Structure 1
Amino acid sequence: MATCAMRTAWHASGGTLKSSSIYPKTLLNALVCPNAPNSIIIHTQKRSLFVLPFGLDVGLLGLSAYYLTRLRKPEPENVINIFGPEPWSKESQTCPDKVVRCIAHRGAGLDAPENTLEAFKYCVERDCHIVELDVRTTKDGKLLLLHDQGLERLTGKDITNVHNMEWDKLKDIDVGATHPNRKQFKDVKLCLLDDALDYLMAHKVRVIIDVKGDNRMVVNGILKTFAARPTLYQYAAVTCFNPFILYQIRKNDPQIVGALSYMPYGFSSQDYNAEQGPNNPRFADNLALHGLLRAADVTYGLLWRWCARWCAVSAVLLHKDIVSPSEVQYWRWLGVRCAGWCVNRPLEKLYWRGVLKAPYLANTLLGEPDMEKKYEENSYSNLDRAGTIVDHLLESDRKMSSGQN
């Protein structure tokens, strides 16, 4: 009986081996020990060689989809023309004036009413040749320069969503009514993207277009704008906080230079800084929704770098409080420019220039080392200039605390 039992086990293991994908033949209903009164019958099943453990096959499928759908980068010459030469390159040593250091955020929105022609003229007068602006759509499909969804902050009017209004009802509204320099900029109107590009391209000013909203209308509008202006590929880059919107734009036109913007806890909170962390929650009254969005923040915090590479971006625009030398070095290793927003204080600007050696977005051009001569030509006295700088920085902390980019 012992011998028969051992033979039974031996034949059982042989049957299992034959059932594997390496040995495709199976032993079905095999009589292991025909002379034994209580012989064992082994039932086996054929198994495929390509069956993977659950989770591994999904991971491989997702990784394959990522590399198959990843976009290609635009022409390197266009990236250099927009963002200038790399700060550590030989060209930056021979032509330091071509290196991009300061990008006027919303057209230096603290010095002049943001996203307006007056702001862009202010930048051109001070030799700032790269600006950032925000684009939204109106009800009739116009591409409007506006950061917020509504006009409450800029005008004090009860207009919560410009996407529900037509351009004719918006074009005569004064958007400089609450600006700290409203005495110098009176009766300032909203601006369309086409009008802004006409002026900026005429003065060879490079542009970073920040796409706001997630509707198909704004995507089509950006694509049509580039198609109608071939020179725009060398002068303008498109950025967005939503990687799927940026992906749609670059998928339809891969030659558009793309940049991804990122702020920690952007789903659940409107503001973030290094001292307080995320604050001003979007849905403070709904704890369940706030918790869900906080979980989305954590997930996206782990994936946003992959999203940037998936969209084949040429630059990333990051909240200044999360940028370190290692972060700049990481993107530099990938051949991607790293810029921070919003860098307004003079000491911060010196740190970005001297230590990080990376460009930054600023709400004010005051305190820019390259533009001191322009400031000296201004009619203000030194005391007035110092007071103006302090007033603007205080106003920066108060007025632009919601939605830095």
Structure 2
Amino acid sequence: MARCATQPAWRASAAMLRSSSICPRTWPSAPACLSVPSSTTILTQRRSLFVLPLGLDVGIAGAAAYMFLRLRPPSPDSVKRIFGPDPWSKEGQQQPEALVQCIAHRGAGLDAPENTLEAFKYCVENQCRFVEFDVRMSRDGQLVLLHDKGLARLADCDLSDMSDVSAMDWDMIKDIDVGATHPNRSQFKEVRLCRLDAALDYLLENNVRMIIDVKGDNMEIVTAIVDTFARRPELHKHAAVTCFNPYILYQIRRRDAEIVGCLSYRPACFSAQDYDAESGPTNPRFPDNRPLHWLALLADAAHAALWRVAASGCGVGAVLLHKDIVNSAEIAYWRARSVRVVGWSVNRPLEKLYWRGVMRAPYLANTLVREPAPLSLKEKKSRESSERELSEEKN
């Protein structure tokens, strides 16, 4: 009987050798068997190590790292101080005059030379108390208000050697007329570049709120922006910082969590310089380099899939989105996360009315011409009363 009992055990052990660890142990009470050299039996021990499916362990580790590294969002009061009450809230409906509706993009760059003191003065004169402007760093560490990498678009002269202000000192560019090609150049003559400190002095003095769009991807500009807020604590109540690069925005808010951050986004920002709903992405960034263009397209696909995650990781208080990709569902998505949505650039009067009445969200505008006047509470009640009376007469 021992022979019959042990032979199946040996065969079973051989079959399990490939998937289990073998643990030989002596069993003193095992019956003697002639066909077996000793009374040693083989017991199988199950593996105690639990192995996750391929990729799941990496996903769990990544999610844990994301939750650990993500930044806390700014306080709702800080967001409200800058962007006003939520237009969809009860407070926003009761106080329409307190809503932020139009933000002058680059200081209303179609009406006055963009990113200049002249543009900001034009906004204040036209009762626009919220502006957006771009900041770059020169070689000598000066923060200069400039959207493009170079000056060719703004200046009417041969500036082939001035295609990158980060390679030039402030003294080399401070006297260049950046209003020479503007449509209204007859009204704005001898317009110079503006440094950030000069702009902040004027805007804070006139109680103007602002969005600072950080251009560039070096850590020096991160330090400079954080130091600017440290020197001017009142900026935390008047200014938000935005960037297309979530890493730069993350580093700014990691060093100063009180800064209200905004992430900017539009489709195809890696592969194309322009985008609109009708034409899609146009003016490719790498027209003569096909492999680089395909890499940019892959970057666009990854960016489209991950930018919302990046925005949440940066703890943003608002997102600045291209107007052609914004709809009611997108606004509802971010409202559920207590994040404001700002569209850019909304310039046509009908578009502005649509954003005010239907989207109920602020927008960046390049022009203040024919800007709809803000609706006061008295005017709103009067209009509602007239509409009610008209409806009763029809019935």
Please confirm whether the aligned pair reaches a TM-score higher than 0.5, indicating the same fold: yes
Distance in 2 between the 1:34 and 1:89 partners?
A: 86
Distance in 1 between the 2:54 and 2:42 partners?
A: 27
- The answer to whether 1:345 aligns with 2:348 is yes
Gaps of 5+ in 2: 376-395
Structure 2 SS opposite 1:155? coil
Contact 2:352 2:372 in 1 (8 A): no
Q: Which amino acid aligns with 1:78?
A: S
Q: Taking structure 2 as the reference length, what is the TM-score of the superposition?
A: 0.86
State the 1:53 CA deviation. Answer: 2.3
- The answer to whether 1:221 aligns with 2:224 is yes
Structure 2 SS opposite 1:321? helix
Contact 1:18 1:27 in 2 (8 A): no
Which structure has the greater CA radius of gyration?
Answer: 2
- The answer to whether 1:279 aligns with 2:275 is no
Contact 1:134 1:210 in 2 (8 A): yes
Q: Name which of 301, 316, 329 aligns with 1:298.
A: 301
- Describe how 1:130-279 pairs up with structure 2 within 5 A: 130-157=130-157, 158=159, 159-279=162-282
- Describe how 1:34-45 pairs up with structure 2 within 5 A: none
Structure 1 SS opposite 2:136? strand
Distance in 2 between the 1:195 and 1:45 partners?
A: 76
Q: Name which of 320, 334, 339 aligns with 1:336.
A: 339
Q: Which amino acid aligns with 2:265?
A: Y
Contact 1:85 1:98 in 2 (8 A): yes
- The answer to whether 1:322 aligns with 2:318 is no
State the 1:243 CA deviation. Answer: 0.1
Change (3 A) 1:48 1:182: farther
Q: Which amino acid aligns with 2:129?
A: H
- The answer to whether 1:361 aligns with 2:367 is no
- The answer to whether 1:52 aligns with 2:48 is no
Residue 403 of structure 1: aligned partner:
none
Q: Which amino acid aligns with 1:216?
A: M
Gaps of 5+ in 1: 20-25, 373-405
Deviates most, 318-327 or 8-17: 8-17
State the 1:91 CA deviation. Answer: 2.1
Contact 2:23 2:44 in 1 (8 A): yes
State the 1:366 CA deviation. Answer: 1.3
Change (3 A) 1:36 1:371: same
1:63-92, Cα deviation, whole Å (9 max, x unpaired): 000000000122321210100000022222
Change (3 A) 1:48 1:7: closer
Change (3 A) 1:4 1:166: same
State the 1:241 CA deviation. Answer: 0.1
Distance in 1 between the 2:64 and 2:46 partners?
A: 28
Distance in 1 between the 2:335 and 2:354 partners?
A: 18
Distance in 2 between the 1:302 and 1:308 partners?
A: 12
- The answer to whether 1:27 aligns with 2:23 is yes
Q: Which amino acid aligns with 1:350?
A: L
The number of aligned residues is 366
Residue 375 of structure 1: aligned partner:
none
Structure 2 SS opposite 1:74? coil
Distance in 1 between the 2:281 and 2:132 partners?
A: 24
Q: Which amino acid aligns with 1:170?
A: I
Distance in 1 between the 2:26 and 2:262 partners?
A: 66
Structure 1 SS opposite 2:153? helix
Distance in 2 between the 1:147 and 1:252 partners?
A: 24
- Percent of matched pairs sharing the same residue: 59
Q: Which amino acid aligns with 1:256?
A: I
Change (3 A) 1:30 1:152: farther
Q: Which amino acid aligns with 1:27?
A: C
- The answer to whether 1:96 aligns with 2:96 is yes
Residue 69 of structure 1: aligned partner:
69
State the 1:36 CA deviation. Answer: 5.5
State the 1:370 CA deviation. Answer: 1.3
Distance in 2 between the 1:325 and 1:247 partners?
A: 27
Structure 2 SS opposite 1:27? strand
Q: Taking structure 1 as the reference length, what is the TM-score of the superposition?
A: 0.84
Distance in 1 between the 2:63 and 2:33 partners?
A: 52
Contact 1:318 1:341 in 2 (8 A): yes
Distance in 2 between the 1:188 and 1:150 partners?
A: 16
- The answer to whether 1:308 aligns with 2:304 is no
Q: Which amino acid aligns with 1:152?
A: A
Structure 1 SS opposite 2:373? helix
Structure 2 SS opposite 1:283? coil
Change (3 A) 1:10 1:272: same
How much is the aligned-residue C-alpha RMSD, in angstroms?
A: 2.8
Q: Which amino acid aligns with 1:253?
A: D
Distance in 2 between the 1:364 and 1:35 partners?
A: 102
